[in-house]
Each structure stands twice: as C-alpha cells, then as structure tokens.
Structure 1
C-alpha cells in the first residue's frame, strides 16, 4: 500500500511539473505585448547587452485520407519562454529596450506566419514528413538569421534609427501575412 501511495505521489509530482513547464511559455498575441515581468531567468552578466528574449516557432501536423481526399492539418505556434529570457537589473531606457525585445518576439511571429503560409500551400507528396521538416528547417534558419541581423544592425538596440527602420519593416511584413496570423 505504501508503494502505491508513493507511486501516486510521484506521478502527481511529475504531472504538476509537466503542467508548470507548459505554463512557462507565452503564445504570441496581437494585443498582448511582453512586460518585464515575463522575463524570469537570471541575467547573464558576462554578456554586454541588457536583456535577452528567448522565443521560437513550433508546429504540429496530421495527415488523413479518411474522406478519400488527402488532407494535411497543421498548427503553428510562436512562443516566448520566460524562464529562458532575462533582463539586467539596472537598465536606462526600460520602455525602449522592452520594445526591442518585443520586436524579437514579433520576428518569431513573422516566421510562424511564413510557415503557416508554406504549409497551407504545400502540395501533398510521398515524403510528407521529410518535406515538412525541410520547410520548417528552412524557415527556422531564416528566423534565426533575421534575429541575428536585427541585433547586428541595431547594435542590440543601441542604434535607434536602425531600430525604427526594423520596427516599421516587421510591422509591414506582419501586415502582408495577416491572413496567416495566430
């Protein structure tokens, strides 16, 4: 009986831990900007910049021929990871820096929209799993490259004119792909 009680207790702890992990991501939403309270990780004091946003895209898919017609269903997610995102304690222009970090999250959403578009346009072939993985890997590589380019060109938010141009560019690109928003 003690073993069963211990086993149940362990399972509850695991389930609780898994549900907490699930809660430790924030899905991108148009009307829900990031706040500094979302940045929960300890700052990396070895780095020269003041904050770090950890965000990314993921997807799930299902293929069926139940109706006699091949159907590919998919969902694409843009997530921000609070426990991997941080901000230094003494920052000068909090609002400006938060907008920079939000733009990193928006760049991830832009690429989620690109992935949704690519999956919607995908013509079902024999190697669905490989094809979808290739599409995802290409768009994910583009996302990482754009994130790096954004930080390079803005000097991690120091170049305000470059920051303004990036903000406008991402806004326009998101608008072009509004049909594929989350």
Structure 2
C-alpha cells in the first residue's frame, strides 16, 4: 500500500516573528463573540485608534494515494490573537466592540472562501504550489477587505457605512454557511 502524505501550515497575521504555538488564540465561533477582556495587548503610544483586532486564517492539509485515488484533506481556522489585540479607550463601548468583531468576521468570511476553494481543488502535479497560490490569493483579498472596511467606515466613525458593512458581511457569511467549521 503506497501512501504519500504532506502537511503544510500557513498563518496569516499582520505581526511577524513569533511562534504560533506560543500565541494564545481564540477560534472563530458564531456563538462566541469577542469581549473587551479578549484584548490583552498594550497599545503603543503612536496608535491613534481606540482598538485593534489582530486576526487571521491558517490551514493545514495532507493527501493520500492509498486508495489509488488522491484524496485531499484540509482544515482551515480563523483565529483572534488576544496578546496582539488591544484597546486603549472605550467610547461607545458596544459599537466599537461590534466594529472589532466585524474584523474577526471578515477573517472568517475568507476562511470559508478558502474552505470552498480547497474543496473544489482538483489535485494536480504541483499541489504544494497550487495550494500556496490559492491561500495567498485569498489572504490578499482578506487583507484588502480589512483595509477597505476601515477606510470606508473611517475606522468605525462613519456609522452609516458601518451598518452597510455589517449587513454585507452577514449576507456573505450566510452565502457560505456550508463552509463554516
């Protein structure tokens, strides 16, 4: 019986230089919303914002040819990193927390897109490069959407845009519900 197995792990966050194993993390769950107690990092003096959410997506995969047909198995995670996320002043407490939650939800939206893409992927000769390209594309889209969200809402200051974004993200998550964890 011939079996070929590879595992690979990618983590996308905005801060580099730390071991993922050592980082406390909270996995996204629909019924578990963020609380201010989850924000454990100290904000720097140069930060002009009231809060910052550090979240990202990661995945692992392997495949086997033991059955004669290549089978791809994968897991995708959406993580929030408490020790890299901070809050310094809380004005409009629930409103600001909902803004930070939406950043986490945007990461989950892209995790679902990655799950769908991995499920639809047909194993080829360059699986490692293919999956890396796929992940990099979706991660780039995630970062772009996070930036667009902050720009269009003026980092939560524009309430009408904030409400549009809440509706949009909720609808997109619903469309990809079958790819939730």
TM-score (norm 1): 0.87
Q: Does 1:121 align with 2:120?
A: yes
Aligned equivalent of 1:150: 149
Aligned equivalent of 1:21: 22
Q: Does 1:99 align with 2:98?
A: yes
Q: Does 1:76 align with 2:88?
A: no
Distance 1:73 1:39, change over 3 A: same
Q: Secondary structure at the match of 1:112?
A: helix
Aligned equivalent of 1:87: 87
Q: Which runs of 5+ in 2 are unaligned?
A: 1-18
State the shift of 1:19 in Å.
Answer: 10
Residues of 2 paired with 1:128 and 1:85: CA distance?
Answer: 34
Q: Secondary structure at the match of 1:83?
A: helix
Question: C-alpha offsets along residues 156-176 of structure 1, whole Å, 9 cap, x if unaligned?
Answer: 000000000000000000000
Distance 1:19 1:135, change over 3 A: closer
CA RMSD in angstroms, aligned pairs only: 1.4
| Regions of 4+ moved over 6 Å | none
Residues of 1 paired with 2:45 and 2:103: CA distance?
Answer: 20
State the shift of 1:20 in Å.
Answer: 7.6
More helix by share: 1
Question: C-alpha offsets along residues 128-182 of structure 1, whole Å, 9 cap, x if unaligned?
Answer: 0000000000000000000000000000000000000000000000000000001
Aligned equivalent of 2:9: none
Residues of 2 paired with 1:129 and 1:37: CA distance?
Answer: 39
What are the within-5 Å matches in structure 2 for residues 1-182 of structure 1? 21=22, 24-88=24-88, 90-182=89-181
TM-score (norm 2): 0.87
State the shift of 1:45 in Å.
Answer: 2.7
Q: Which runs of 5+ in 1 are unaligned?
A: 1-17
Residues of 1 paired with 2:76 and 2:149: CA distance?
Answer: 23
